[in-house]
Amino acid sequence: MAYTIEEEQELSAIKAWWQENYKFIIVCFVIAFGGVFGWNYWQSHQLQKIHNASAEYEQVLFNYAKDPKAQEEQFSQFIKNNEKTGYAVLALLDKAKIAVENQDFAQAEDALKQAVAQSTDDVLSSVSALRLAAVQFQLGQFDPALESLKLVKEQAWNGAKNMLVGDIQLAKGDKDAAKSAYQQAQQNATPLEQQLIQVRLNNL
């Protein structure tokens, strides 16, 4: 069936429009397809990185726990390679735990200071700061410990934070400040924490 004059004109207009715009359309298609492909590739790449980091973390920690001195260089390299990630913070928390078990509180303090500096997550930052304050308290560094506790932002750790504040203030000889901190700790304490706090209050 022959085209009508109107159809011929419409077809010509479409062809003319295509001639003017096909390159742009192809470029948009390529960009869109490339974007989807690139996004999927990036996601796949990130998942692979996480998997690799997890496996390396477990291996590095296993080796370090067996012989901290011999594995110090490998451990430090892992921290450097995974800077500002959760794996670096977790590794440093584990390093501090091992140091405390070995009564090396100075090394534990150093590891926890690194953990605080490395963390970009409020939860990990709060845990790191709370443990750092506990180690500094053990070392008799009362004022630095109180400063570290100011970095504990997550409300879930308010009870433990206030209890430690109370212990530090009591060690400094300020019973009124210790009592206030213990009472604050009681507000959201678990039954076990309530008992521990009450013992402290009774001994003031």
Residue 34 belongs to some domain of the structure = yes
Residue 173 belongs to some domain of the structure = no
Query: CA–CA distance from 78 to each of 72, 92, 128, 180 (Å)?
Result: 10, 10, 18, 43
105, 140 Cβ separation under 8 angstroms: no
Burial label for 25, CB within 10 Å (0-12, 13-18, 19+), is exposed
Q: Which residues of the chain have pLDDT under 70?
A: 1-54
Residue 30 belongs to some domain of the structure = yes
Residue 121 belongs to some domain of the structure = no
Going by C-beta distance under 8 Å and a sequence separation of 6 or more, which residues neighbour residue 105? 99, 135, 138, 139
Q: Alpha-carbon distance 133 to 131, whole Å?
A: 5
Residue 92 belongs to some domain of the structure = yes
Residue 192 belongs to some domain of the structure = no
DSSP alpha helix (H) spans, the chain? 5-66, 72-81, 86-101, 105-118, 122-138, 142-149, 158-171, 175-186, 191-202
The pLDDT of residue 143 is 96
Q: What is the DSSP letter of 121?
A: S
Q: What is the DSSP letter of 120?
A: -
Q: How many domains does the chain have?
A: 1
The pLDDT of residue 50 is 54
150, 116 Cβ separation under 8 angstroms: no
Residue 161 belongs to some domain of the structure = no
Q: Which domain, by its residues, includes 56?
A: 20-116
Angle between helices 158-171 and 191-202 (to 10 degrees): 20
Closest CA to 151 of 123, 114, 170, 184: 123
The pLDDT of residue 150 is 94
108-129 burial code (b ≥16 CB/10 A, e <16): bbbbbbbbbebbeeeebbbbbb
Tens-digit pLDDT profile for residues 142-189: 999 999 999 998 888 888 899 999 999 999 999 999 999 999 988 878
The pLDDT of residue 37 is 45
The pLDDT of residue 31 is 52
Residue 68 belongs to some domain of the structure = yes
Going by C-beta distance under 8 Å and a sequence separation of 6 or more, which residues neighbour residue 61? 91, 94
Q: Alpha-carbon distance 189 to 204, whole Å?
A: 19
